Amino acid sequence: MVGIGNQRKKARTTAALESIRSVMPYSVDCFVRGGTTIKPTVGNTGGSDVCNPASGITWPALPKGCVYAGAGTFGSGGDVQVAIVIKMEPEAEFGAT
């Protein structure tokens, strides 16, 4: 018997990764234009600006039960990378059935 809980966790993980992946082209554009990628606020579920100066693009909303848990930038010059950490709450904490 396959556990439905495990399938839900995989689906949430996939949805969260797709959300983050969708904003990466805007982060690159921000860098190319001389801006700075703004890390998402820890504990936030989305909506804060991606770039400074603001471009109107915001970090995407994450699936229910997921929050931004940290981020960092590393590298220099043309080799700057952004790492995003997402925290997934246990299903019982957000009312899964």
pLDDT for residue 81: 63
pLDDT for residue 3: 63
Pairwise CA distance, residues 80 & 44, whole Å: 23
Q: Which residue segment(s) compose the domain that 14 sits in?
A: 4-94
- Which contiguous run of DSSP H or E holds residue 36? strand 36-37
| Cα torsion through 84, 85, 91, 95, rounded to 10 | -60
pLDDT for residue 80: 55
Domain count, the chain: 1
User: What is the phi/psi pair of residue 37, to 5°?
Assistant: -70, 130
pLDDT for residue 30: 87
pLDDT in tens, 3-28: 666 788 888 888 888 888 888 888 88
pLDDT for residue 93: 47
Which residue ranges of the chain lie beneath pLDDT 50? Answer: 1, 92-97
What is the maximum span of the chain, computed from C-alpha positions, in angstroms? 53
